[in-house]
Amino acid sequence: MSHPTALIIGASRGLGLALAEEWLNRGWRVIATARGGSDRLAELNLRFSDALEIEHADIVQADTVRALGTRLRGREVDVLFVNAGIARSNDKTPVDVGEQDFVDMMLTNALAPVRTVELLGERVASDGVIALMSSELGSIANSTGFWPLYSSSKAALNMLMKGYAAERPHDPRALLLIAPGWVRTDMGGEEATLSIDESIPLVVDMVEANRGKAGLRYVDRFNRELPW
């Protein structure tokens, strides 16, 4: 029996690297992308040389995503997971943020992930899952105003995926906007409430549980729907 395949975009470190490792440990094949070199991915490749392929893509550079799509032509994956994201000027407001930080977040966290789905989505099996790393902070309904600029970029990501789904009412794939919890990574910081091991295995369980279930959902790691 052939092994399922996950294509993880933005897997050099943090949650993306952990997603790659979790699926490799479960016997999946993984295509993991980084925009630069990644010692951590290279280490993983020593342990899983048969099952892991390391690819290059910078989601802000659309040509690199197109080129990846060309290299993957003729192949099918079971999960496409767009994980890449950035957080800048977390405590700033619209009046004191450096505008470029806001533009960079909107590009990296909202426009580029959905463009990546547009460019690579046809590689995903009809019973597969297209997942994007959103955030609890992307919920407008639940917002407390924490990290307002980053949160706006995740809310924009959610909205753009609404548009993607609306244009494809008969898409058989599950389309998931995932909130992984507040996790200790370079972005989450040391004060975050969860370790990577307390989040990522649940995220992977949840993605697997959604295979074959069409439709767009904004969900947490327990597969509970979140208010938009």
- Residue written as token pair 């307390």: 198
CB 171 within 8 A of CB 214: yes
- Considering only residues 89-128, where is the footprint of ligand NAP by CB under 6 A? 108
> Applying CB under 6 A, does 66 fall inside the site for ligand NAP?
no
Q: Looking at 72-80, 94-102, 184-192, 206-214, which segment touches ligand NAP (CB under 6 A)?
A: 184-192
Indicate the residue among 167 and 186 with the shorter CB distance to ligand NAP.
186
Cα-only R_g, the chain = 16
CB 210 within 8 A of CB 204: no
> Applying CB under 6 A, does 188 fall inside the site for ligand NAP?
yes
Least distance (Å) between residue 29 CB and ligand NAP:
20
Nearest in space to 156 (alpha carbons), one of 143, 173, 179, 139: 139
Nearest in space to 153 (alpha carbons), one of 116, 118, 107, 189: 107
Q: Looking at 89-97, 122-130, 166-174, 178-186, which segment touches ligand NAP (CB under 6 A)?
A: 178-186
> Applying CB under 6 A, does 160 fall inside the site for ligand NAP?
no
Least distance (Å) between residue 227 CB and ligand NAP:
16
CB 143 within 8 A of CB 184: no
Indicate the residue among 133 and 216 with the shorter CB distance to ligand NAP.
133
- Considering only residues 123-152, where is the footprint of ligand NAP by CB under 6 A? 133, 135
3-state secondary structure (DSSP) of residue 113: helix
